[in-house]
A and B are shown apart, each in its own frame.
Chain A
Amino acid sequence: MSDEVQMDQEVYDRLIGEGKSERIARAKAKAAAVRKSKIEEGATLGPKPAEEATKALEEFRSSRSGGGGVATKTAAPADGGGGGRLTPEERAARVSASLGNGGDSGSVGVPAASDHTHRLLALVPPAGIQQVQSKQQDKVYTWPHLLLVEFVALLAAGSLLLVASFFLDAPLGSLANVNEVPAINKAPWYFMGLQELLAYFHPAVAGITIVGAAVLLLMSLPYVDKNPSAKPENRKFANMAFTFFLAFWGILTIIGSFIRGAGYEWVWPWVQGLGFVL
C-alpha cells in the first residue's frame, strides 16, 4: 500500500504497557497519528457544531423553497435545541451538513462533488415501512428464552418420532397391480373425509364443489370475519362455526377411516377390524 499510515510510537508503547494486544495497540496508535496530523492541518474533529448544521439547514431551505417544494412549517423551529421532531427536509439538511456540503447536489444526501454511484433514494420514517409498536410491551430476550423453549420442543418431538419409528414399521403391501382392486380401498387419512363425502354425493359435487367452496371459504375467512376482537367471549359465533366445521370433517374422517370396510360398506370396526392403514 502506498499510503501506509505511520503510527504514533508513544501511544503504541503506552498501550502495550497497559497490556493491550499488539494488534489493538497498533490500530489505536495509527488512529492517534491520523488525528494528530488532521489537527495540524487545522481540521476540526468530532461532530459538527450546532451552528454549522443550522446554517446548512438555512441554506438548504433557501435553495429549496424556490423550487416549488411543499413548504411545511408545522415542525419544531429549526433553531430550537430541545425536543420536537424534525421534518424530512430538516433531517435531510442535517445529513447533508454532516456530509460536509451545504449546497445542493441535486439529490438528497449526496455531496455535490462526490463520485459515489449510489444515492439515498428517500428518507422514510420507520413507521412508514413497518408496523412500529409505540406501546411499551412485556418482552423477553429471544436468546436465551425463546431459543431454549424451541430447542426443548424440537428434542421432545424428535425423540418421540424416533421412538415411534424404532418400534412401528411403515407398511409395504404387495406390488402394485392395476388389474387387482383391493377389497378395502381407501385414500390417505387426510382425504378420508373427502372419500366419505363421495359415498353420498356425485364426485363433481363432493370432490369439486364442496371442497372448492371449503378452501375458498377458508382463504377468505379473515376478510369475512370483520369482528376486531380476539377474545373468545366476543366471538362466540365464529368459534362455534369453526368448531362445527372441524367436527364435520373430523367425523367424516373417522367414519371413513374406521367404520368402512370391504367395498366401502358400513362395518363396525369390532366386526371386521379397522380396515385402516396409515
Chain B
Amino acid sequence: MPKLPKPPKPPSYSEVRGTVQDNVIWKSIFRPGSIYRKGYRDTSRDRALAAMNNVLYHLHPVKVKRHGLKLTYTYCLGGLSFFMFILLTITGIFLMFFYTPAAGAGAEIAYLNMRELSTTVTFGALVRNLHRWGAHAMVFLVFLHMARVFYHGAYKPPREFNWVVGVILLLLTLFLSFTGYLLPWDQLALWAVTVGTNIAGFSPVFGDQVSFVLLGGLEIGPETLLRWYVLHVLFVPFITVVFLAVHFWRIRKDGGISGPL
C-alpha cells in the first residue's frame, strides 16, 4: 500500500496572526504602536504610542490624571452624553430611510410612515424606541453633566469659556429634541409643540417674526413639519457637532479634566 503523504498541519493561531499582520496593507492601516500591529508589547512606550498614533488622539492625551478615572469623578456623564449623540445619529439615519416629512389633508404621509415603522418595517419599532428613549436620556444626561461640572467647580479658570460652550450645547440639545418631537405628527407632537412655540411668539419686539420663521406660517402646519425636519436632521446636528468639537478641544487645551478636588 502506497504511503499517503501526511496531511499538512493546519497553521497555528499565532502563525495566522503573523501572516495577517505582517504585510503592507495591514501596516498601512494600523500605525506604529497600534495594538493591532505586529509586535505590540504592553510596555510604557507602546502604551504611549497606542494613544498617540490613534485617531482618538484628537480627543485623548497619552496620559490622563488618575483621579479622573474614578467613576465618581465624572460619572462618565459627558462621555455618555456624547455616546447618546452618536447613537441618535445612527438610529436617526435608519429612521430617515422610512420617513417623509409630508402632511396635509389626504396626504398624511409622515403619520402613515410612523405607523408603518412600528408595524411593517423590520426592526422599525426597536430603532424608533432606541431613538426616542435615547433622546430623552441624552437631555437628562446633559443636565446631570452640567450639575456635576458645577459641583466640582470645574468651570473655574481656565475653563470658564468651556462652560459657556456647554450652556450652548445644552440649548442645542433641547432644540434638537424639541424639533424631533413634532415629526411623528400625532396629537401629542402637534400640541406639545404648540405649547412651546406659543411662548416664542411673546419674545419682545420680534415675537411675531420669530414664530413666523419657526412655524413657516401663522400656525403649525405642513410647512412647519418640513422646516423642523430639516432643522432636526441637518441644521441643528451640524451646529451641535461644531460646538462639540470646540468643547472637546477646549477640555484638552485647558489642561485636561479638572481636579482633583
Q: Is the CB of B261 within 8 A of A178?
A: no
- Name which of A33-41, A104-112, A165-173 contacts chain B: A165-173
Partner of B64 from the list A140, A203, A221 (CB cut-off 8 Å) is A140
A161-B91 Cα distance, complex, nearest whole Å: 12
Chain A residues with CB below 8 A from B194, complex form:
185
- With contacts A141-B63, A190-B174 known, is A229 near B83, CB below 8 A? no
Interface residues on A, range: 35 or more
- The answer to whether B83 touches A158, judged by C-beta atoms less than 8 angstroms apart, is yes
Taking CB atoms, residues of chain B closer than 8 Å to A208 are 199, 202-204
B35 CB-CB contact with A under 8 Å: yes
Contact indicator B196/A187 (Cβ below 8 Å): yes
* B27 CB → nearest A CB, Å: 11
Chain B residues within 8 Å of A194, by CB: 199
Indicate whether B212 reaches chain A with its CB closer than 8 angstroms: no
Report how far A211 CA is from B9 CA in the complex, Å.
74
Listed residue (A140, A165, A186) with the most chain B CB atoms within 10 angstroms of its CB: A165
Q: How far is the CB of A28 from chain B (nearest CB, A)?
A: 18
Report if B62 contacts A (CB, 8 A).
yes
**Which residues of B in the span 59-115 have a Cβ within 8 Å of any Cβ on A?**
60-69, 71, 76, 79-80, 83-84, 87, 103, 108, 111, 114-115
Residues of B with C-beta under 8 A to A278: 132, 136
Q: Is the CB of B167 within 8 A of A187?
A: no
Taking Cβ atoms with an 8 Å cutoff, the residues of B that contact A are 35, 44, 47-48, 50-51, 54, 56, 60-69, 71, 76, 79-80, 83-84, 87, 103, 108, 111, 114-115, 118, 125-126, 128-134, 136-137, 139, 143, 147, 150-161, 163-164, 167, 171, 174, 177-178, 181, 184-192, 194-196, 198-204, 219-221, 253-255, 258-259, 261
In contact, B156 and A222 (Cβ under 8 angstroms): yes
- Of A157, A158, A191, A230, which contacts B259 at CB under 8 A? A230
Is A231's CB within 8 Å of the partner chain B? yes
A239 within 8 A of B: yes
A164 in the interface (beta carbon within 8 A): yes
Q: B192 → chain A, closest Cβ, in Å?
A: 5
Chain A residues with Cβ below 8 Å from B67 are: 138
Residues 219-242 of A contacting B (Cβ, < 8 Å):
219, 221-223, 225, 227-232, 235, 238-239, 242
B83: which A residues are within 8 A, CB to CB?
Answer: 153-154, 157-158
Whether B157 and A228, one on each chain, are in contact in the complex, defined by CB atoms closer than 8 angstroms, is: yes
The reply to whether B156 and A181 form a contact with Cβ atoms under 8 Å apart is no
Tell me which residues from 182 to 219 in chain A have a Cβ below 8 Å from any Cβ of chain B: 182, 185-191, 194-195, 198, 202-204, 206-208, 215, 218-219
Does residue A121 face the partner (Cβ distance < 8 Å to B)? no
A195 touches B136 (CB 8 A): no
Q: How far is the CB of B64 from chain A (nearest CB, A)?
A: 5
Docked Cα-Cα span, A70 to B93, in Å, equals: 60
B255 touches A133 (CB 8 A): yes
16 contacts between A and B (CB under 8 A): A145-B64, A146-B64, A150-B79, A162-B130, A170-B132, A171-B186, A173-B186, A174-B186, A176-B189, A186-B192, A188-B192, A190-B143, A203-B199, A204-B202, A219-B167, A231-B153
Contacts of B167 in A (CB 8 A): 215, 218-219
Nearest Cβ on chain A to B112's Cβ, whole angstroms: 9
Instruction: Give the nearest-CB partner of B156 in chain A.
Output: A230
Identify which of B66, B156, B188, B195 contacts A225 (C-beta below 8 A). Answer: B156
Judged by a CB distance under 8 angstroms, whether A99 is at the interface is no
- Contacting pair B111 A175 (CB below 8 A): yes
A143/B65 in contact, CB under 8 A: no
Please encode chain A, from 81 to 124, with 1 for each CB lying within 8 Å of some chain B CB and 0 for all others: 00000000000000000000000000000000000000000000
A141 lies within 8 A of B47 (CB)? yes
Q: Nearest Cβ in chain B — how far from A173, in angstroms?
A: 4
Q: Is the CB of A235 within 8 A of B153?
A: yes
How far apart are the CA atoms of A131 and B255 in the complex, in Å?
Answer: 6
CA distance A178 to B220 in the complex (A): 8
- A177 close to B151 (CB less than 8 A): no
Complex Cα distance, B69 from A192, in Å, reads 35
Q: Decide yes or no: A185 and B47 within 8 Å by CB, A131-B253, A175-B186 being known contacts.
A: no
Residues on A with C-beta less than 8 A from B178 are: 188, 191
Complex: A165 Cα to B135 Cα, angstroms? 12
| Nearest 9 interchain pairs by C-beta | A230-B153, A207-B199, A222-B160, A165-B129, A176-B190, A170-B132, A173-B186, A139-B63, A203-B202
Q: Is A254 an interface residue (CB 8 A)?
A: no
Q: CB distance A141 to B164 under 8 Å?
A: no
Q: Kindly state the separation between the CA atoms of A173 and B114 in the bound complex, as whole angstroms.
A: 10
